Chains A and B, each alone.
Chain A
Amino acid sequence: MFDKLTDKINAAFFEEAGIHIAGNRELILENCRRIEECSDVLMSLACGKLLIHIWGNDLRAFDYKTGGLVIRGKISQIELEERSPR
Chain B
Amino acid sequence: MKNQIRGCVKINGTGKNLYSFINALHQRKIAIFRQYVKGGTLSAEIYHSSLADVQEIAEDMGISLTCYEYGTLSEQIRRRKGRFGLILGLILILGASLYFSSIIVAIEIEGNETVSDGVILSALSELGIEEGTNFGQINYVWSENQLRLMIDKIAWAGMHRTGNRLVVEVTEIVKKPDMLVERIPCNVVAAHEAEIISVLVRDGQLMHIVGDYVFPGDMLINGMTTDHNGNITLHHAMGEIIGRYSDTVEFSGAFTKERMISTGKTDKRRRLKLFSLEIPLYFGKNRYEYSDSKEYDNPLYLFSKKLPISIETTEYTELSRTESTLSAEELKAELIEKIYLYEKNFLSDCEIISRDIKETATDEELTLTVTYKLQGDICEQREIAIK
Contacts and interface: CB of A to CB of B under 8 A. Distances in A.
B37 A38 contact: yes
A65 interface: yes
A39 B22 contact: no
Contacts of A60: 33-36
Interface stretch (A7-15, A20-28, A29-37, A78-86): A29-37
B275 to A, nearest CB: 54
B31 A63 contact: yes
Interface in B17-51: 19, 22-23, 25-26, 29-38, 42
A28 B23 CA distance: 18
Given A35-B19, A36-B19, A38-B19, A63 B36 contact: no
A2 interface: no
A61 interface: yes
A82 to B, nearest CB: 21
A36 B22 CA distance: 9
B63 to A, nearest CB: 14
A interface secondary structure, majority? strand
Nearest to B22: A35
B34 A63 contact: no
Interface in A40-80: 40, 59-65, 67, 69
A40 B42 CA distance: 11
A32, A60, A63, A67: most-surrounded residue (chain B CB, <10 A): A63
B38 to A, nearest CB: 6
Contacts of A39: 36-38
Nearest to A40: B36
A64 B46 CA distance: 10
A38 B39 CA distance: 11
A31 B22 CA distance: 16
A38 B26 contact: no
A37 B22 CA distance: 10
Given A32-B26, A35-B26, A62 B19 contact: no
B35 A63 contact: yes
Interface string B110-151: 000000000000000000000000000000000000000000
Contacts of A40: 36-38
A59 B38 CA distance: 11
Given A38-B42, A60-B35, A64-B31, 5 more contacts: A34-B26, A36-B19, A59-B36, A61-B34, A65-B29
29 contacts: A34-B23, A35-B19, A35-B23, A35-B26, A36-B19, A38-B19, A38-B22, A38-B35, A38-B36, A38-B37, A38-B42, A39-B36, A39-B37, A39-B38, A40-B36, A40-B37, A40-B38, A59-B36, A60-B35, A61-B34, A61-B35, A62-B33, A62-B35, A63-B30, A64-B31, A65-B29, A65-B30, A65-B31, A69-B26
